[in-house]
Amino acid sequence: MQTRILGELKKLGITSVSRNTVKNILKENGLDPGPKRGLGIWDEFLKLHAATLWQCDYFSKKVLTVKGFRDAFVLVFLHVGTRRAFVSPASFNPNREWAQRQAEAFVEHVKQTGVATKLVMRDRDGKFTPPFDEALKAARLKVRKSAPRSPNTQAFVERFIQTLQHECLDYFIPIGLKHLDHLVAETVAHYHDERPHQSLGNGLLEPLPKAKRKKKAKPPDEPTIVLSEIRCKQRLGGLLKHYYRQAA
């Protein structure tokens, strides 16, 4: 690494810096001056690929039907870099054809939103059939299976599924697939646009790439908050709440 840095400095006309100086600066900033060998650790993989990496996984929910309770399945895709999600409609029968259609819908979603996508990671669940992988590969996406007995590699999408369950689905008994789809859609909309995220310093998710082109007025450093200006938007009968200031 020192040699590479010295070469870059030389291009800038800086030749008075020694190798030991570069080495000491790297160490002071917590960087390893030695060359990287091998495949690296999982954290390094995520740092390299987070901007283009999606994870996907299934979850199930008991749904009340005229024939009693049945297990409905939902497929979730989560973009690791932005934490944005794409969620399929629920199904009682997630067979090969259904899974393939969801993969194709996911490909169309990333095309429309412009979210960077190169790699899709999944576990070894039998519901991920060859047509599912083929639909992704046809869009020039790489499919990577998680290693056996390594649940931590799917931690991001599993954490999102946990959020869906703990903040919404645990409070309801869905009556039919349409009801379950409505519950999930409302929670995902709240998650994307209204919910503060602890991993982002209690901030909101970044807007989609196309929305970033719009310039927003810079708020004052210390705005004066008037209680009469505060509004509350509620979803799902008040289970999900979003507080905001009324526009002037």
Domain parsing of the chain, residue ranges:
2-35, 47-200, 218-245
pLDDT of residue 212 exceeding 90? no
Cα atoms in the Cβ-side hemisphere of radius 13 Å centred on 192: 14
Model confidence pLDDT, tens digit, residues 135-153: 999 999 999 998 887 767 8
What's the pTM? Answer: 0.76
Which residues, other chains included, contact 213 with Cβ-Cβ below 8 Å and sequence gap of 6+?
none
- Cα separations in angstroms, 241 against 193, 198, 207, 245: 12, 16, 20, 14
Domain 47-200: give its CATH code: 3.30.420.10
The mean pLDDT value for 81-108 works out to 96
* Cα pseudo-dihedral 121, 123, 124, 125, rounded to 10: -120
Cα(160)–Cα(60) distance, rounded to whole angstroms?
14
Which residues, other chains included, contact 23 with Cβ-Cβ below 8 Å and sequence gap of 6+?
2, 33
Model confidence pLDDT, tens digit, residues 34-81: 655 445 566 677 777 888 999 999 999 999 999 999 999 999 999 999
